[in-house]
Amino acid sequence: MKVKMSRLLLILVLAWATLPAQAQEQPIPWSSLSKPQQEILSRHEARWNELPAARQAKLVRGSERWLSMSRSERKQARQRFERWQGLDDTERERLRMNYERFRELPADEQRRLMRNYRRFKRLEPDVQRDLRRRWRDMTPEQRQHVRDRMRKLTPDQRRRLMRDRLRIDRKGPLGAIGG
């Protein structure tokens, strides 16, 4: 009797634990979408009821995000999408894997990487090109050496190093970053 009660209790606990997930997976009726959302998602209307509930929810979230964007943000999003469509399957897969690796990082590491990315994007285009070229020309060992060296620096030391390197770059050719 105890075994049956334990099994029943386990089944009830498991069923209870899955309730929130099931509640989130309910289909979204087309008629519940706002007119602007229906316009944005119009190409999906004919097969809306055939889409999995999770896909419907993702499309609705995307339409909400789109509607909240400014004109310039929408323009940038279209450009990113066009670039994405122009990539071959190998490059798309590489980007997906990099994104997954990024998502697995601790939040503080994600913030650090985003700060560095924003700082890189503020550089002049010719400086960005030069940094990309030099990184691409390095061997995997040289890249790892640079990563290891940079991780050991404090944020202030990193800023000073990059500022000094950029100053030297503007005066003339710079050797390998890995030094």
Per-position b or e across 140-173, b if 16+ CB within 10 A of its CB? eebeebbeeeeeeeeeeebeeebeeeeeeeeeee
Instruction: Tell me the C-alpha distance between 156 and 163, whole Å.
Output: 11
The pLDDT tens digits of the residues spanning 105-158 come to 999 989 988 988 898 888 889 888 998 999 999 999 998 998 888 888 887 887
Instruction: Tell me the C-alpha distance between 157 and 175, whole Å.
Output: 20
**Percent of the chain scoring above 90 in pLDDT:** 53
Instruction: Tell me the C-alpha distance between 61 and 122, whole Å.
Output: 30
Mean pLDDT of the chain: 83
Q: Which pTM was predicted?
A: 0.52
Model confidence at 177, pLDDT cuts 50, 70, 90, reads very low
Mean pLDDT of 4-33: 66
